[in-house]
Structure 1
Amino acid sequence: MRADRLISLVLLLRQRGRLTAATLARELEVSTRTVLRDIEALSAAGVPVYAERGRRGGFALLPDFRTDLTGLNHDEALALLVAGAGRGEQVFGLGSALASAMRKVVDALPESHRAAASDAARRMLIDPETDLISHRPVTEELPDTTMVEVRRAVVAGHKLRIHYAATGQTPQWRTVDPIGLVTVRDRGYLLATRAGTDRTYRLSRVLAAEELPEPAQRPNRIDLDRIWRERCAQFLADGDQVTVLVRVNPARREDLVSTALAVRAEEPDTDGWPRLEVTFQDSRHAEWALWRLTTDAEALAPQWLRTSLRNRAAAIASCYGASS
């Protein structure tokens, strides 16, 4: 256990540079005291790790330090094999590369662990195409040649020229500075800036792409998770989003939440049904989400939504109430 942790500590310092003891403790899920003892052990073993004091201090390795730390234990190999069973590689066009990498991981394992790790990975499934209560999701397709150009520009830090079909607009060529790629529920997004302004593009709407030789204007290091959260918040604040106050059967709460863009507030009602303030993309989205829950949810506001749902229900009742 400690040997694996020491290897992980060295790899963290190699890959991310100077890190504080608190950061290392959080990454390794140990106490800062344990990290300090591990640093001392590495130093005693000849690993050139040193401390920098001050507000921006921490621990780091000498810049030219290299060592072979490529061995995988059983759980590490299993984690890679199971993660490789996900479908994110379909969005980014990395399917063949992932398959090749998984073969190399399996081949690198000791003979005694190879069969066990492969069998264990087959017994764990992440994000299958269908579940017990939902339809099969539709994975957005992007031609491999287009995805390769996008991915290369993102990784290399080059400007990217894309032929993009925005909703309700004629496709246009535009040059962007790519920041990163994100996949959410089988939908891929390109995060970029254009003329210094934040832009988010659906990969399925990129009709063609060309990596340019000019370097992109972007920071060297980013927190992609933070950027994505900020852009999601901005998306919710803009456009034609609709906020609805709704009471819902507790058994169907997750069905409601899964269709909404965001839950802004929630409080219990006197009858045990929670009241939620949820945001939908537009009026059609809101009406569809509430209609599919039938009597397990009631829109309390706005009034136009209640009227629309009542009129739809009346039309259905009239249709099926008439004699055939």
Structure 2
Amino acid sequence: MKSDRLLSILLLLQAHGQLPSADLADRLGVSVRTIMRDVEALSATGVPVYTVRGPQGGIALLPGYRTDVTGLTADESRALFVLMSGSAHTDLGLGQALGSALRKVMTALPAAHRPDADLMSRRVIIDPVRWRGAPGPRRPDAGLAPFQQAVFTDRRLRLRYRRGRDNRVSVYTLDPYGLVNKAGVWYLVADHKGEPRLFRTDRVQAATVLDAPVRRRADVELSDLWEQLREGIDGVPAPLAVTARVRDDTLAMFLRVHVTDLAPSWERPSDAAGTGEGWTEVELRFRSLLAATALLAFGPTIEVLAPDDLREVMAQKARETAALYRDEG
């Protein structure tokens, strides 16, 4: 369509300033004569486009001319470039298309909006896939304002932070790279003494943005660090093999909750109809007995068959829970 072609010419000239007519024709798959007619049409609408003669000539826009063909506000431009992890688009076969679309949008953005949009794409990642193991309870955090301030103003950050492994509170001075939302939980990716670390924002007791400029390592991007840290967590083998049977009327929900805990070799039987009249055996992998006790959440609709030490832990916890509710009258 001619309107699409006119818009494409305008975007290309906004990006490059001047291009040979033959180059435009090749990019758009039309003849040079068609390009010249389109240039006349753009000029007639008031766009300051003109031709430059000679070996170095071509089609050009008046220097300094910009138009916001997208209609996006500054906030909308930033929001558009907060993307899900690249793997999500790649899985759908849309990785290349997404990159191409965003390059076109970036070209079309007003010059004043581009730096913020580019910075947003490099400082914030949305990863919708939850961790392979249980992520632990979500606690309210104090808000993301200090983290955003440090990330987008390139300043160091001091945290008072409760560690998950031992519940101890420590103070860290960090060089932040960006923020990651992992299945609804926000994390700060930062260097601590030159080493990459991951900090859950809901474990932060206090955050102070320092005046000192950030000390990021050269040529290191948030996306690279996130992949390294994510693989360091998800890639750890889960050595505890668990066999359990799940009541059929609960099986669908159980599989949704524990999809990341299923053994790679396990396949759902075709006869697991979910009628509640039978049980389906499942194979799972957990990192520890403690992690496996998350199965207690399904109560009597699941029974651990193996290993025996997990059965004993489950039975003991069930007895302790029942004792809390025992009728003493």
Answer with 1 or 2: which has the greater Rg. Answer: 2
Instruction: Name the TM-score, length of structure 2 as normaliser.
Output: 0.49
TM-score (ref. length: structure 1): 0.50
